[in-house]
Amino acid sequence: MKLPRGRLDKSRVVTDPRDTLADVLDRELTGYAVFESQETLLLDGEGRGVITFHRA
């Protein structure tokens, strides 16, 4: 998947992304979030998940 270029709003490490995702939905932001597991970060792996946000 090719991700679009854009302006980074936040970058952080969290153990539970629920509050961050709720904030994105409440503020009706558009863009995408990339999720990587701790094992992927430590082992320099390629596994990641991407969630995109857009207004309907």
Please indicate, yes or no, if residue 4 is contained in any of the structural domains. no
Count of alpha carbons within 13 angstroms of residue 12, beta-carbon side: 9
pLDDT band at 42 (very low <50, low <70, confident <90, very high): low
Question: Which residues have a Cβ under 8 Å from the Cβ of 30 and sit 6 or more positions away?
Answer: 53, 54, 55
Please indicate, yes or no, if residue 6 is contained in any of the structural domains. no
DSSP string, 40-56: HHHHT----EEEEE---
DSSP string, 5-25: P---------S-THHHHHHHH
Please indicate, yes or no, if residue 1 is contained in any of the structural domains. no
pLDDT digits (tens, 9 = 90+) for 1-26: 677 777 777 777 888 889 888 988 99
Quote the number of domains for the chain.
1
Give pTM, 2 decimals.
Answer: 0.61
Please indicate, yes or no, if residue 10 is contained in any of the structural domains. no
Domain that holds residue 24: 18-53
Question: What percent of the chain lies above the pLDDT cut of 70?
Answer: 82
Please indicate, yes or no, if residue 11 is contained in any of the structural domains. no
| The pLDDT of residue 26 | 94
